[in-house]
Amino acid sequence: MDTFHLLLAGFAEVFKWQDMVALVIGLCVGMAVSVLPGLGLVMGVVLALPFTYSMSLETSIILLTAIYMSGTYAGCYTAILYKIPGEPMDVPLLWDGWGMTMRGDAAKALGWALVAALTGGLVSSAVMVSLAGPLSKVALSFGAPEYFAAVFFGLTTVVALAGKSLPNALISLCFGLLVSTIGIDATYGSERFTFGSDVLINGVPFVMVLVGMYGFGEILDKIGQGSKSVSLPAGSSTATSLPSWRELWGLRATLARSTTVGTLLGLIPGAGATISSFVAYGIERQYGKRGRQIGTGIPEGIVAPQIASTASVAGHMVPLLTLGLPGSGATAVILAAFLLHGVQPGPFMLKNPESALTVYTILASMFVSVIGMCLLGFVWIRLVIKVLKVPPGILIAVIAMFALIGAFADRNSMSDLWVVVIFGVLAWIMERVKLPVAPMVLGAILGPIAEDSFTRSMITYHDDWTMFFRSPISASLMFLSILSLVFPTLKKMISRASARKNADVKMAEAAAARAN
C-alpha cells in the first residue's frame, strides 16, 4: 500500500471507539497539565504511561501523543488571558497575547492562537507523513556504525541544547548512560555495578527513571515553590474570535515562516517545543514585516511561537517512529510505551504491513488530535481553567498518588517505587545545582541502544573506531555531532570577545569624555 492508502486506513483505525476515547482523554489531560504552572506536558505523558500497560499499542501511543499535542496548545489560554504561562513554551505568547488582552482583544488573541495551532499542527503532520517513508528507507540502509552515529548525534544535540553549561549537560548525560549500564550486560552476560544486590541484577527500569525524574521530581519542585494559589481575575471570558480570511492572508509570511521553523526544529533532537517557540518568535522579530512592533501586542507575536511549538510535535514523532530515536522528553516517554509493549520503533515497522498500519494510525491520530484540541478548546477549556483555583496542596497530593501507584502498577514491585523516589530526589537536587535533567533521562533510555550499536560496530570492525568516520552517513552524523558540541562553545567565546571589546570601547570613550 502507498502512503496515502496507509494513511486512510490509519484514519479508519483512529475512529474506532477505543482509539477515539483514548484520544479525547489524552487531549483533555494534555490541556489540564499544560495550563497548570509548574506541571509540564512531559509530566502529563509520564503520569499517563502506567495506565497504558493494559491497552493495545496503538491506543496507548494515541493517548500519549494526544497529551503531547494538546499540551503545546492549551497553555495559550492562561498565558493570554491571565499572563500565567503554563509551560515555558508559552512565555513568548504572553508578551503579545497579554498586550492584546489589555487592549480588550483577548478573544481575537485566542482566535489567532487557535489558527496558529491548527496550521502548525496540520501542515507539519502532513510534511512529516510524507517524510516517514523516505526516512525509514534511509534508516534501513543503516549498519551498526551508522546507527551508533545517529544515536550519538541525538545525544550530543540534546546535550548542546539542554542548558547554559555544556559541561554540566555532559555530566548529566554520563550519569544517564552509567545508569543504563547497571545490571547484566547483554553481550557477555556479566554483572555490572550491581554491588551484589539482587534488585539491581535486572538493571534500573528506565520507566521508573522517567516517572521519578519527570514525575516525582516535578512534584518536589512544585512543593518547594510554596502553596500560593493562583488568583484569577473575575469576569474574564474564554470566548474565541477567529480572524477573517483577509487577516489570515496578511499574515501568510509569518504562517509559512513559523511552520517551517517549527517543523525543522522538531527534527533536531533536543530542540523541543520550547526552543521552537522562542526561535520562531525571535525570527519573526528579526525578519517579520512588523518585527519591531512585536512585544507590543500584535498577532504575529502569538502566531509565530504557537505555530512553532505545535509543529514541533510532528517533527519529533517521525524520527521516533522511523528511526526509533526520541528527541524530547515526551517522545522518550512514548518510546518507553513502545518498548513496554515489546515493540522497538524503527524502519522495520514500515516493512511489515501490520506494524506499518500502526505507524500510520499514530500519524493519522496527530491530524485528529490537532483538530480535536482546537474544538475542545472552546468547550473544555472553561472547565480546565478552574483547575487553577484548586489549592496546590490538594493537586500535588493527587498527582503524587498517580505517579507512585502508576509506577507500582507496572510490575507490582516495591523496589520500583524506591527507584521513583530516589530518582525524583536526584532530579530535584540536579535542578538546584543546575544540572539539566533531560540529558540524564535520554542517556538512561538511549544508553542500551548506543552501547549495543557501539559494541556490534567494534566487534564487527575489530576494534577499529575509524569506521565511524568512513561511511558517508555515519561520518556526516559524527561530524554534525562534533559540530553541535563545538558550536555553542565557539559562539560563547565569540560573544564574550565582542562583549569585552565593547566594554573596552566604552571605557575608552568614558576616559576620553572625562579628559575633555
Partner 1 sequence: MSSKSVHGSAGSGTPVPALKWLRELGPYVLIIGVAIALYQIASRISYTEIPGQMGPERWPKIIIALLICVSGFEIVRRIIVSVRPRAAAETVDDEGFSQQMEAHPMLVAAATAATVGYLLLLGLLGFFTATVLYLAAVMWIGGVRKPALLGLLSISFGFVFSFFFMTLIYVALPLGEGPFAQISLIVMKLVGAN
Q: Which residues bind partner 1 (CB under 8 A)?
A: 51, 54, 164-165, 167-168, 170-171, 174-175, 177-178, 181, 185, 187-193, 216, 219-220, 223-227, 391-398, 400-401, 404-405, 408-409, 412, 414, 417-418, 421, 425, 428, 431-435, 451, 454-455, 458-459, 462-463, 492, 499-500, 503-504, 506-507
For residue 49, the Cα-to-chain-centroid distance in whole angstroms is 15
CB-nearer residue toward partner 1: 459 or 486 = 459
Cβ of residue 402: shortest distance to partner 1, in angstroms?
9
Q: Which is nearer to partner 1, 102 or 405 (CB)?
A: 405
Q: Which is nearer to partner 1, 464 or 470 (CB)?
A: 464
The torsion region of residue 78 among left (phi > 0), alpha (psi -120 to 50) and beta comes to alpha
Q: Which of 87, 65, 49 is nearest to 403 (CA)?
A: 49
Smallest gap from residue 228 Cβ to partner 1 (A): 8
Element (DSSP H or E) covering residue 496: helix 472-515
CB of 185 to partner 1, least distance (A): 4
What is the C-alpha to C-alpha distance for residues 106 and 99, in angstroms, rounded to an integer?
Answer: 9
Q: Are 108 and 63 in contact (CB under 8 A)?
A: no
Distance in angstroms between the alpha carbons of the first and the last residue of the chain: 81
Q: How far is the CB of 181 from partner 1 (least distance, A)?
A: 5
As measured in angstroms, the least distance from the Cβ of 350 to partner 1 is 30
CB of 145 to partner 1, least distance (A): 14
User: 60 to each of 178, 258, 454, how far by Cα in Å?
Assistant: 29, 30, 31
Sort 295 into a burial class: Cβ within 10 Å, 0-12 / 13-18 / 19+.
Answer: middle
In this structure, what DSSP letter does residue 346 have? S
CB-nearer residue toward partner 1: 190 or 286: 190
Q: Which residue has the cell 547497571?
A: 182
- Measured in degrees and rounded to the nearest 5, phi and psi for residue 192 equal -130, 130
**Reduced DSSP (H G I as helix, E B as strand, rest coil) percent helix, strand, coil of the chain, to 5:** 80, 0, 20
DSSP character for 215?
A: I
* Minimum distance of partner 1 from residue 151's CB (angstroms): 13
- Residue in the block written with cell 492508502: 5
CB of 271 to partner 1, least distance (A): 21
Nearer to partner 1 (CB atom), residue 88 or residue 133 = 88
Smallest distance, partner 1 to C-beta of residue 67, A:
17
Shortest distance, position 264 Cβ to partner 1, whole Å: 28
**CA 146 vs CA 124, 140, 216, 470, 482: distances in Å:** 27, 10, 36, 10, 15
490 contact partners, CB below 8 Å, separation of at least 6: none
Cβ proximity to partner 1: between 256 and 499 the closer is 499
Residue with Cβ nearer partner 1 (352 or 502): 502
Closest-CA residue to 368 (of 55, 49, 53, 58): 58
The residue among 343 and 458 lying less far from partner 1, judged by its C-beta, is: 458
* Residue 171 burial (C-beta neighbours within 10 Å; 0-12, 13-18, 19+): middle
CA distance 376 to 24: 9
Q: Which is nearer to partner 1, 9 or 184 (CB)?
A: 184
* Min CB(381)–partner 1 separation in Å: 24
Q: Which is nearer to partner 1, 382 or 500 (CB)?
A: 500
Between CA 384 and CA 369 the distance in angstroms is 17
Rounded to a whole number of angstroms, the minimum distance from the CB of residue 147 to partner 1 is 15
Please, which residue, 208 or 302, has the CB nearer to partner 1? 208
Angle between helices 438-460 and 166-181 (to 10 degrees): 60
Residue 184 · residue 190 · CB < 8 Å: yes
Question: Cβ closer to partner 1: 32 or 69?
Answer: 32
When the beta carbons of 50 and 326 are compared against partner 1, the nearer one is 50
Residue with cell 517512529: 321
| Smallest gap from residue 504 Cβ to partner 1 (A) | 8
| Unique residue bearing C-alpha cell 492572508 | 249
Query: Which helix (H) or strand (E) element contains residue 111?
Result: helix 106-140
